Amino acid sequence: MIGVSLRNKLMNVLIYTILIMTAIFVLYPVVWVITGSMNPGDSLFSTRLIPESLSFRHYTYLFTETNYLLWYKNTFKIAFWNMIFSTFLVVTAAYAFSRFRFPGRRQGLMAMLVLQMFPGFMGMIAIYILLLQLNLLDNHWGLILVYAGGSIPFGAWLVKGYFDGLPRSLEEAAKIDGASHVTIFLKIMMPLSKPILIFIAVTNFIGPWMDFIFARLVLRSGEKKTLAVGLFEMVTGRGNSEFTTFAAGAVLVAVPITILFFMFQSQLVDGLKAGANKG
């Protein structure tokens, strides 16, 4: 009995040690960037984790001497509309694949499954040529369409798994009462799918907010830049050494995502767990 108790205590000590070490490895870079953004100089290097003197000069510089607010506005516009369009496309596609039987259904599901295996940048040349032909280069809507289309394969599979777990008896009862497919979808399926909808919406907001590769490919003019592109150009090229200003911009980039995570933390976890059900 004593041996079992001792083994349990040692196991708890080991678990807590691993968790503490993991927290340190995760939080230390975050603290380092935040304190570095308040370092009065232009260098992130410091012999101390918290500098002797802290300054908000770099934050002021971002808003007064750069186009940071414009980049923020552009990024929010792209992320918001992508969230709307992507969620609509993902949920409607998932509902169709989950509840209807039609020619090509199995092939469509397999195609979406295969598409998830390839990284998005493999199609960069094709996307560039397509947007060029559609006259959507250097256009936020071209970028939104790329993001929205790219979100369908993974999102549709995830939401389909959630829909498959909902009882069909609810829809059958609604059909007996004369409800149409649209009514069933909007008034029965959507309210029951709140966790997975929030997960898909937040995920599709965060994706464009943090993306650099496609934004760099599609957007050219200065007034169309996103946060990732604008901040990248701060620390690249000859003579660009505004690393502390870059750190300040990076801290502000993380604020909306952090707020979203804390607001919808429980729904995100529930949605991810529920979407794993392939009923």
279 residues of the chain, pLDDT tens digit each: 556 677 788 888 899 999 999 998 988 888 888 887 887 776 666 656 666 777 788 888 888 888 899 999 999 999 999 999 999 999 998 888 888 888 888 888 888 878 777 777 777 888 888 888 888 888 999 999 999 988 888 888 888 888 888 888 888 888 888 888 888 888 888 888 888 888 899 889 998 898 888 888 888 888 899 998 888 887 776 556 677 888 888 888 888 888 888 888 777 776 666 655 544
Helices first, then strands: H and E counts in the chain = 14, 0
Query: Dihedral sign, CA of 67, 71, 72, 74?
Result: positive
82 within 8 A of 150, measured Cβ to Cβ: no
Count Cα neighbours of 112 within 13 Å in the Cβ-side half-sphere. 21
| pLDDT the model gives residue 195 | 84
**Contacting residues for 243 by C-beta, under 8 A, at least 6 apart:** 36, 42, 43, 44, 235
Please enumerate in sequence order all residues whose Cβ is within 8 A of that of 136, keeping only pairs 6 or more positions apart, or say none: 142, 145, 218
* Domain edges within the chain: 2-57, 67-275
Q: What is the pLDDT of residue 189?
A: 85
Domain range 67-275, CATH class:
mainly alpha
Q: CB–CB of 118/111 below 8 Å? A: no
